[in-house]
Structure formats: structure tokens, C-alpha cells
């Protein structure tokens, strides 16, 4: 009886906390498809706000995806070999390099952006192009890629596999292609999802680095919050949700598959 | 490459030492010659430098300045492992989880650009040789420990290496399997006649497999010799105690006899010395009638272990003596017994440094 009471209490509390988080989300989403939010849902449902957002901000969405996948490409091309080198080499120096790569997680995005602006702000063409935002995103997401790949390297003892392949005559490049990458796939996938998700949602850094012509999705979102009617901003949120939720679910599924292996 | 004395290369290691980045001396500069077709065992406790030595020969570690590794007289010190044509079996096997058994065995051949049909033929040969027929298409995580060991061995010899390097290949297995595979491995090494270097901390493995054994201790070579030499003529107390069981006796020597609490024990070629250290193997001590024996003691304990019984005798020597007696004789704790030891079974060891 007492156990039952405790369970019911905990259950209700959990529901309450969940509601606290979910209700605003649901409200925001409904606001995006309501004709007039101040008159409530009885004013009718509409997709006109979504369409309006698409008209106004489609280019920010496009740019966000361009930057997210470019960030992914760079973190893959630089991050996976870097993780391999750091893992195989080991020692003090590798740990130091790893720490430096990880640093951007701890430093506020604004500070990172300021440093980038101070250093490269003078290069006008670079400063004005989307590549400037790409650079910021790469700095910010690289640790997530390197870390998740290094974690998988440690769990499959990639150093010995590498030595095994070397003893059979494989050059460093063949080892990387035939043995290292195929056995690091789960870590590479997890890292990739993380990088894409983080890049799509990144605001702090991007807000400092963007120009009126290089707005990403979250910047557009802030823009619409500040200057548009509430329904438009909410419709924008809805679009963002639709894009980001599948990525988060995929990430979660990978994490679970890794745990059950 | 096959010659009258077997396959593969001869190896010369000249003044190879290894100091790690943190200043640890893993290996004192050592020199060693390994003949073509010979099986050499590097034996010692963990941390003795045996694996470091193997990794230097493999090309996975670089020796300190001045060290040289020669294969068939050719300096390979600067050549990385992938161009040394060595076959290596790792303690953890290092099988590729992303490839099937057959793909693992054929990987080295694929690297060498051997055409698929020829590769398949060679893989089939090795699968038969190592008794893993039927497992070709399995994934690595579907294999037992013993099967993995065989795949690792097949993969290493598939490339017809000049030298086969084995780093504690049986350590990860349970005792019964280890014993069985040891025999198989021995037959395989003899059949291939390949130059092989085998690292282990297990002295019975070393005895069975080695043409010669290199006993190592604290990064240095303690003794090199055939299994018989190492067992019967250990150079020092460490080797005597590491290989098999040994009674170490500290006593004075008078006219060719050890002066012991339980009597006098003749030794071969003895003189007179105030203090000596001698080694007597447990199986070279016989239990005899107490009246006639020159050396006497009292039985402290008897443990019956099946093929023999291990008897501990006190009072004969300063420390209790362990005796391996036949399983047929009747002795009990408390009995007074005589001990008979052939004079040449007593080996003097150099005094402790």
C-alpha cells in the first residue's frame, strides 16, 4: 500500500515535470498553425504562417544545411585521421593536443567568435562569406567528432588492429581504409549526427559571425522573434523542430545500439 | 627461400636497447643471433623486456641509438614493419572484426596483390592446416578463443613470412586448451620449419617449443641455452628458480662435500669453500632407508598430486627440501627418512651479487 502510494507520487511528479517542459513546446507549435493566436485555436488552423516563413527564410534554412554538411565534411576529413593519430601515437603530447581540441566546448561561443573576428576580421572576402561561419562551426564541433571516434578506437583496441594490419604488409593508408575506418563506423556515425545537430542549432557563435547575407536558421529564428508576429516566429520553430527531431532520434537510437552491443 | 636448415631468414640483433620516452629502461643493450629455421623462446616474468625485444625485431619499436637488426645479414633497422615480411601473432590476436575468417587470413595476400583464385587456394590450405575447416565465413565475434588463436596463426603464416613472431599467443586461453594448442603449435612450427621467435612467461611452454631459450630478467638476458642446458645448468639463482622447481641450499663446502645439518652431501668436482650456493632439483632427490643414508631428515608434509608425490623434508638442509618422490612409496609426515642425491645432481651457483 505504502509502496503504491510512493509510486503514484513519483509518477505524478514525473508527469508534472514532463508537462512543464512539453506544454510550452506544444503551445509554440500550435501557435505556428493558428490563424490568430490571441483569439486562440477557434480562430482556425492554417499553414499560411509556415508558408510565409518558407518564403522569407528558405535561404537561411538552405544555408544552415550547407554549413552543417560542410562542417561534417571538414570534421570527418580532419577529425577522423586526427583521432587515429592521437590514439596510435599516445603520450603526453597527444593528450595536450586532445585538450586543446576539446577547449572550445568550455569556452563561451561569444569568446570564440570574438577571437575569430579579431584574427580574421580583416580578411574581407572571407569575413563576408559563409565560410567564416563554417570555420566557427568546425572549431566548435570538432571535439565532439574527435572524442566519439577516439572512444570507439579505445573500445576496439585499434592500436593492436593497426599493428596487425601493418605486420601483414599494409601501408598506413591501406590500414586506415581497410581496418581503422570500418571498425570505427559506430563512433563516426555518432560523431557525425552530433556534429550536424550542433551545427544546425548553433546560435552564440553564429550570431557574432554572421552578416545580413549569411544568416543561418537559428539567426533567422531570432530575427523573426524580434520583428515578426508571434505566429510567424512559432511557425519557424515548427520548421526547426521538424528538421532537428529526426536527427535527435537517430542519435538516441545509435547510443542505445552501442550500449546493447 | 627454403634451405637445408629450414625456411625463412636468420636474424641478428646487435646492441639493441630500448629506453622509453619517460626514461624507463625497458631493455639493456643486448645482442642475439637466431639461426634460419630455429625456434627461439624469449622467457621471463612480466616487465623483463621480452615483448620489447620482440617488438624491436618486428619493427614495431625502434631500438635506441646504436642498435641494429639484421635479417639474413641485411640491415632492416630503419625499415618499418609493413616492409619486413614478418608474420606476427598477437596476444589479443588483433583479428579484424570487419572481416570474415577467410578475409582475415587472406588480407596479407590481398595487400600483396595475389589474384583472388590463388588467394582462395592458399586460404583453403591454411584453413586445413590449422583445423578450422567450416569456419571460413564466420565473423570473428562468433569464434571461440581457441579458434581465434588458430585464425591468427593462419593469417600470420599465409604471407610466407621470413620470420614468425608470437607474442604470448596462448596466454588468453584456459589451461587445458593452452596445453593442447601448445602441442599443435609445436607440430606446426616443426612442419613449417620457419624461423620463429616466441615470447612467453610460461616455462613449460618455453621448454616444449624452444630450440633455444633466452631467459630474461629486468631488461637483460640472464641466460641463453637449450631447454636442457637452462634446466640442468642454470647460470644463476634467478634462472634456477624461474625454470621448474629448485631447492636452493646455502652451506659450506669441505673437500667436495656440502656440510649440512642432516649430514654430508658429495658434489661433483668439489673443493673447499667457506660459503656456496647450490641447486638441487626435487626429482633428483631419492627417499631411501634412513640407516644407510649420508643425509637424513624428517618428513614435514606429503602432498599426493597423482603422477608423483611432493614431500617436504626438514632438518636435512638449512631450509626445508622439496622432494618429488614416486607415487608408490609409503611416507607420512613425521617419518625419519634418508635422502640420496647423485653428486652430479648438485649444481653450484655463483654467489649472490
Above 80 in pLDDT, residue B52?
Answer: yes
Residue of A nearest to B141 (CA): A261
> Which of the residues A91, A168, A174, A182 would you substitute to probe the B interface, choosing the one with the greatest number of B C-beta atoms within 10 Å?
A168
Pair B306, B327: CB distance under 8 Å: yes
H or E, element range at B105 = helix B101-111
Q: If contacts are CB pairs under 8 Å, which of residues 57-96 in chain A contact chain B?
A: 91-92
Number of residues that make up chain B? 353
Using a CB-CB distance cutoff of 8 angstroms, which residues of chain B are in contact with residue A166?
60, 80-82
Inspect the interface and report whether the beta carbons of A169 and B82 lie closer than 8 Å. Answer: yes
List, for residues A31-71, the tens digit of each pLDDT value.
888 888 777 777 778 888 888 888 888 888 889 999 999 99
Would you call A28 exposed, middle or buried from its count of C-beta atoms within 10 A (0-12, 13-18, 19+)?
Answer: middle
Q: What is the DSSP string of A196-256?
A: HHHHHH--HHHHHH--TTS--HHHHHHHHHHHS-HHHHHHHHHHHHHHHHHHHHHHHHHHH
Range with the poorest average pLDDT among A61-70, A241-250, B241-250, B332-341: A241-250
Which residues are CB-contacts of A248 (< 8 A; sequence separation ≥ 6)?
A: A197
What is the structure's pLDDT at A220? 86
Q: Do B159 and A156 touch (CB under 8 A)?
A: no
CA dist A70 and A135 (Å) reads 10
Confidence check: pLDDT of B135 > 60: yes
Coil, strand, or helix at residue A115?
A: helix
Mean pLDDT of B168-195: 89
> Residue B5: its pLDDT value, please?
45
Give the residue-averaged pLDDT of B272-296.
Answer: 90
Domain count, chain A: 1
B39-43 and B196-200 as β-strands: parallel, antiparallel, unpaired? parallel
Q: What CATH class is the domain B11-240?
A: alpha beta
Confidence band of B272 (pLDDT split at 50, 70, 90):
confident
Q: Do A183 and B86 touch (CB under 8 A)?
A: no
For position B176, what pLDDT does the model report? 87
SS3 B220: strand
Residues in chain A: 261
Q: Evaluate if residue A179 carries a pLDDT over 90.
A: yes
CA-based nearest distance B156→chain A, Å: 7
Does the structure show a pLDDT above 60 at B6? no
pLDDT at residue A210, rounded to an integer = 87
Query: Kind of pairing, strands B68-71 and B11-19?
Result: antiparallel
State how far residue A167 is from chain B, nearest Cα, in angstroms. Answer: 5
C-beta of residue B266 within 8 angstroms of C-beta of residue B344: no
Q: Answer for the pair B209, B185: CB distance below 8 angstroms, yes or no.
A: yes
Question: Which residue does chain B place closest to A183, by CA atoms?
Answer: B98
Structural domain contains residue A15: no
CB atoms within 10 A of CB A100: 10
Alpha carbon distance B79, B85 (integer Å): 10
Q: Which residue of B has its CA nearest to A168?
A: B108
Q: Are strands B247-254 and B273-280 parallel, antiparallel or unpaired?
A: antiparallel
Q: What's the alpha-carbon Rg for chain B, to the nearest Å?
A: 24
B111 to chain A, closest Cα gap in Å:
6
Q: Is the pLDDT of residue A253 over 60?
A: yes
Q: How far is A249 from chain B (nearest CA, A)?
A: 26
The answer on pLDDT for B1 being more than 50 is: no
CATH topology of domain B245-342: OB fold (Dihydrolipoamide Acetyltransferase, E2P) (2.40.50)
pLDDT of B4 reads 41
For B41-67, what is the mean pLDDT?
93
| Interchain CB contacts (distance < 8 Å): A and B | 62
Counting residues of chain A whose pLDDT is more than 90, the rounded percentage is: 37
pLDDT of residue B58: 95
pLDDT cut 90: percent of chain B above it: 73
Minimum mean pLDDT range among A60-64, A120-124, B38-42, B78-82? A120-124
Domain that holds residue A153: 57-219+244-260
pLDDT, tens digit (0-9, with 9 covering 90-100), for B232-243: 999 999 999 999
Over 90: is that where the pLDDT of A247 sits? Answer: no
Residue of A nearest to B165 (CA): A167
Average pLDDT (B14-26) is 89
**Within-domain flag for A237:** no
> Which residue from B204, B163, B129, B149 is spatially nearest to B54, judged by alpha carbons?
B163
**Predicted confidence band at A259 (pLDDT cuts at 50, 70, 90)?**
low
For A174, nearest residue in chain B (alpha carbons): B111
pLDDT, position B2? 39
Q: Cα–Cα distance between B26 and B48 in angstroms, integer? A: 7
Please tell me the distance from the alpha carbon of residue A189 to that of residue B204, in angstroms, as a whole number. Answer: 47
How much is the pLDDT for B56? 95
Lowest mean pLDDT among A89-103, A154-168, B220-234: A89-103
Q: At which residue does the C-alpha cell 639493441 appear?
A: B16
User: Strand B68-71 and strand B212-217: pairing?
Assistant: unpaired
Grid cell, residue B342, equals 647423485
The pLDDT score that the predictor gives to residue B152 is 95
Position A89 scores a pLDDT of 82
Query: What is the enclosing helix (H) or strand (E) of A74?
Result: helix A48-74
ipTM for the complex? 0.85
User: DSSP characters for B109-164?
Assistant: HHHTT--HHHHHHHHHHHHHHTT-TT-TT-BGGGS-HHHHHHHHHHHHHHT--SEE
As a whole number, mean pLDDT of residues A234-261 equals 78
Q: Is residue A46 part of a domain?
A: no
B105 neighbors B123 (Cβ within 8 angstroms) = yes
Mean pLDDT over the full length of chain B: 91
Chain A residues with CB-CB distance to B92 below 8 A: 157, 160
What's the mean pLDDT when you consider all of chain A?
A: 88
d(C-alpha B152, C-alpha B130), whole Å: 10
Cα–Cα distance, B34 to B41 (Å, whole number): 10
Domain ranges of chain B: 11-240, 245-342
Please tell me the distance from the alpha carbon of residue B84 to that of residue B59, in angstroms, as a whole number: 8
More confident: B89 or B2: B89
What CATH number is given to the structural domain containing A215? 1.10.3720.10
pLDDT score, position B352 = 66
What is the tens place of the pLDDT at every residue in B243-256? 988 999 999 988 88
Q: What is the pLDDT, as a whole number, of residue B54?
A: 96
Amino acid at each position: 500500500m505504502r509502496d503504491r502510494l510512493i509510486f503514484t507520487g513519483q509518477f505524478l511528479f514525473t508527469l508534472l515535470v514532463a508537462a512543464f517542459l512539453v506544454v510550452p513546446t506544444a503551445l509554440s507549435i500550435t501557435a505556428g498553425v493558428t490563424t490568430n493566436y490571441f483569439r486562440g485555436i477557434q480562430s482556425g488552423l492554417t499553414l499560411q504562417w509556415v508558408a510565409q516563413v518558407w518564403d522569407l527564410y528558405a535561404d537561411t534554412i538552405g544555408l544552415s544545411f550547407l554549413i552543417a554538411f560542410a562542417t561534417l565534411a571538414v570534421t570527418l576529413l580532419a577529425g577522423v585521421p586526427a583521432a587515429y593519430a592521437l590514439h596510435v601515437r599516445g603520450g603526453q603530447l597527444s593528450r595536450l593536443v586532445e585538450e586543446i581540441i576539446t577547449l572550445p566546448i568550455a569556452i563561451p561561443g561569444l569568446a570564440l567568435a570574438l577571437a575569430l573576428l579579431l584574427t580574421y576580421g580583416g580578411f574581407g572576402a572571407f569575413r563576408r562569406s559563409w565560410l567564416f561561419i563554417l570555420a566557427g562551426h568546425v572549431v566548435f564541433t570538432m571535439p565532439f567528432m574527435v572524442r566519439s571516434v577516439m572512444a570507439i578506437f579505445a573500445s576496439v583496441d585499434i592500436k593492436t588492429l593497426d599493428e596487425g594490419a601493418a605486420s601483414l604488409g599494409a601501408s598506413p593508408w591501406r590500414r586506415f581504409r581497410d581496418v581503422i575506418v570500418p571498425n570505427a563506423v559506430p563512433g563516426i556515425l555518432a560523431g557525425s549526427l552530433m556534429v550536424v545537430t550542433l551545427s544546425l542549432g548553433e546560435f552564440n557563435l553564429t550570431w557574432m559571425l554572421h552578416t545580413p547575407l549569411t544568416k543561418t536558421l537559428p539567426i533567422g529564428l531570432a530575427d523573426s522573434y524580434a520583428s515578426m508576429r508571434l505566429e510567424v516566429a512559432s511557425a519557424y520553430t515548427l520548421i526547426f523542430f521538424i528538421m532537428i527531431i529526426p536527427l535527435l532520434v537517430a542519435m538516441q537510437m545509435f547510443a542505445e545500439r552501442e550500449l546493447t552491443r | 627461400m627454403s634451405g637445408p636448415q629450414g625456411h625463412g631468414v636468420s636474424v641478428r640483433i646487435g646492441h639493441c636497447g630500448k629506453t622509453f620516452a619517460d626514461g624507463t629502461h625497458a631493455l639493456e643493450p643486448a645482442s642475439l643471433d637466431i639461426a634460419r629455421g630455429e625456434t627461439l623462446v624469449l622467457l621471463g616474468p612480466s616487465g623483463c623486456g621480452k615483448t620489447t625485444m620482440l617488438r624491436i625485431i618486428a619493427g614495431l619499436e625502434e631500438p635506441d641509438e646504436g642498435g641494429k637488426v639484421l635479417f639474413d645479414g641485411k640491415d632492416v633497422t630503419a625499415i618499418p614493419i609493413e616492409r619486413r615480411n614478418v608474420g606476427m601473432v598477437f596476444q589479443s590476436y588483433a583479428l579484424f572484426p570487419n572481416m570474415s575468417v577467410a578475409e582475415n587470413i587472406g588480407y596479407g595476400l590481398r595487400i600483396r596483390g595475389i589474384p583472388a583464385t590463388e588467394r582462395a587456394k592458399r586460404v583453403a590450405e591454411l584453413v586445413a592446416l590449422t583445423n578450422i575447416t567450416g569456419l571460413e565465413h564466420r565473423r570473428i565475434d562468433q569464434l571461440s578463443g581457441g579458434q581465434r588463436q588458430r585464425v591468427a596463426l593462419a593469417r600470420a603464416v599465409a604471407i610466407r613470412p621470413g620470420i614468425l613472431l608470437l607474442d604470448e599467443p596462448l596466454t588468453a586461453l584456459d589451461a587445458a586448451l593452452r596445453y593442447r594448442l601448445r602441442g599443435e603449435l609445436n607440430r606446426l612450427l616443426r612442419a613449417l620449419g620457419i624461423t620463429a621467435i616466441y615470447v612467453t612467461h610460461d616455462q613449460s611452454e618455453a621448454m616444449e617449443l624452444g630450440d633455444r631459450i633466452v631467459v630474461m630478467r629486468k631488461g637483460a638476458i640472464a641466460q641463453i641455452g637449450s631447454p636442457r642446458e637452462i634446466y640442468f645448468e642454470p647460470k644463476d639463482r634467478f634462472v634456477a628458480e624461474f625454470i621448474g622447481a629448485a631447492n636452493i641450499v646455502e652451506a659450506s663446502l669441505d673437500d667436495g662435500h656440502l656440510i649440512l645439518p642432516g649430514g654430508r652431501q658429495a658434489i661433483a668436482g668439489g673443493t673447499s669453500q667457506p660459503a656456496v650456493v647450490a641447486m638441487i632439483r626435487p626429482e633428483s632427490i631419492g627417499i631411501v632407508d634412513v640407516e644407510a643414508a649420508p643425509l637424513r631428515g624428517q618428513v614435514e608434509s606429503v602432498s599426493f598430486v597423482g603422477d608423483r608425490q611432493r614431500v617436504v623434508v626438514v632438518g636435512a638442509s638449512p631450509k626445508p627440501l622439496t622432494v618429488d618422490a614416486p607415487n608408490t612409496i609409503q611416507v607420512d609426515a613425521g617419518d625419519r627418512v634418508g635422502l640420496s642425491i647423485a653428486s652430479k645432481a648438485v649444481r653450484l651457483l655463483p654467489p649472490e651479487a
